[in-house]
Amino acid sequence: MDVSSPWWTALAGLAVGGVVGFAVFRARLCTFGALEDAMVGHDWRRMKVFALALGLAVLGTQALTMAGILSPDRTNYVTTALPWLGILTGGVLFGLGMALVGTCAFGSLVRLGSGDLRSLVVLLVFGAVAYATLRGIFAGIRVDGLERVALLLPAGTASDLPSIMGRLTGHDFRGILTAVAGVALVAPAFADRRLRRAGRLMTAGVMLGLGVVAGWLATTWLVDEFAHPMAPQSLTFVSPVARALFGVLFEPTSLAEFGAGSVFGVALGAFAAARLADEFRWEAFDDPREMKRHLLGAVLMGSGGILCGGCTIGQGLTAGSLFALSWPLAVAGMAVGARLGIALLMEGSLTGFVRQSVAGRFGFHNKP
């Protein structure tokens, strides 16, 4: 088989996704779980692991950029316009849906690999809604509505921080910015004594960060730009899940890409880890109420993920590795949405959450 065939990038995605899925399942690492730990329990250990992953992704991705291997402006994250309203709105919707499901799209793939049939239902609905928002019935609302509200950058300026800094100052700060950001993100994990003893968590963080870099490498080295032109891509689990679902149902050749391969790889990697640890268990919904909550969460994640341009991995790590301006907007939106979702689950309503917050802030408490 020709090395430039797109099926090679799919195999690369399968391999990278498999390694990441295996490591993440063994570590019980989850982006929503990390946010919940930090917001509710004030435990930042798992957030430090994701910071470690982002730091390694930044160092590796920017090294590829400075070596001339990767061109950020050829990716879907670094464009000449920033649809900030769609990114923020989508981030909030995705975060809220993530809270209702109890994990993100990536986490759902990991859970599916361990036998969670709830995740199968979530992923089917999530993928269908994501595809409808990407290219189907909801695409017009996205393109002609929210994405029209965009920040247009000066001609020749891409929407990543190094390009903006270079435009404003006339100097290239990419190397300095990479070194400072990389060290600042990696250091907290290694400085935490408890994390240094948590080998599986640290390994999962390292594998996630290196997986992002491996994705960029695979989709630049294994792609013939003349025979099969495609934008460089790396780990993300919104549009790839949608395209994988479409490929399974209608067009198998659309599976010949890194993203679709990584989707199946994550589930298979988690399956291997679960079987190795004798932790593979079939699970289903406990009752109709739980099922309704998961279905609503899947709808919100599918539409929100397309609007904001990725999931907690796609925007949180992959876009972040490029210093894309969409990264802080999407992550902030997801954090807000997740906090609202936690409030709904814990307090039963947003008004209850507001009352509790005001009472705690100003010292008002109900008398017995």
Band of pLDDT at residue 202, cut at 50, 70 and 90: very high
pLDDT per position as a tens digit, 283-337: 999 999 999 999 999 999 999 999 999 999 999 999 999 999 999 999 999 999 9
Q: How many CA atoms lie within 13 A of 353 on its CB side?
A: 13
Has residue 60 got a pLDDT over 90?
Answer: yes
Q: How many CB atoms lie within 10 A of CB 209?
A: 29
d(CA 151, CA 84): 7
Band of pLDDT at residue 223, cut at 50, 70 and 90: confident
C-alpha distances in Å from residue 11, one per residue of 16, 259, 279, 307: 9, 10, 27, 28
Q: How many CB atoms lie within 10 A of CB 41?
A: 8
pLDDT at 367: 42
Beta bridge partners of 151: 82
Band of pLDDT at residue 359, cut at 50, 70 and 90: low
pLDDT at 157: 83
CB pairs under 8 A, 24+ apart, for 26-30? Answer: 26/200, 26/203, 26/204, 26/273, 26/277, 27/198, 27/200, 27/201, 27/203, 27/204, 29/201, 29/204, 29/205, 29/208, 30/103, 30/104, 30/107, 30/110
Band of pLDDT at residue 156, cut at 50, 70 and 90: confident
Band of pLDDT at residue 226, cut at 50, 70 and 90: low
Q: Is the pTM of this model over 0.75?
A: yes
Band of pLDDT at residue 351, cut at 50, 70 and 90: low
3-state SS of the chain is CCCCCHHHHHHHHHHHHHHHHHHHHHHCCCHHHHHHHHHHCCCCHHHHHHHHHHHHHHHHHHHHHHCCCCCHHHCCCCCCEECHHHHHHHHHHHHHHHHHHCCCHHHHHHHHHCCEHHHHHHHHHHHHHHHHHHCCCCHHHHHHCHHHCCEECCCCCCCEHHHHHHHHHCCCCHHHHHHHHHHHHHHHHHHCHHHHHCHHHHHHHHHHHHHHHHHHHHHHHCCCCCCCCCCCCCCCCCHHHHHHHHHHHCCHHHHCCHHHHHHHHHHHHHHHHHHHCCCCCCECCCCHHHHHHHHHHHHHHHHHHHHHCCCCCHHHHHHHHCCECHHHHHHHHHHHHHHHHHHHHHHCCHHHHHHHHHHHHHCCCCCC
d(CA 266, CA 361): 42
Has residue 277 got a pLDDT over 90?
Answer: yes
Band of pLDDT at residue 363, cut at 50, 70 and 90: low
Lowest mean pLDDT among 143-147, 229-233, 331-335: 229-233
pLDDT at 352: 58
pLDDT at 228: 64
Has residue 58 got a pLDDT over 80?
Answer: yes
pLDDT per position as a tens digit, 41-55: 999 999 999 999 999
Band of pLDDT at residue 356, cut at 50, 70 and 90: low
The segment with the largest mean pLDDT, out of 51-55, 161-165, 363-367, is 51-55
User: Measured on CA atoms in the order 304, 309, 312, 315, is the torsion positive or negative?
Assistant: negative
pLDDT at 61: 98
Q: For a pLDDT cut of 70, what percent of the chain falls above it? A: 92
Q: How many CA atoms lie within 13 A of 18 on its CB side?
A: 10
145-172 average pLDDT score:
89
pLDDT at 158: 87
Band of pLDDT at residue 5, cut at 50, 70 and 90: confident
d(CA 368, CA 366): 6
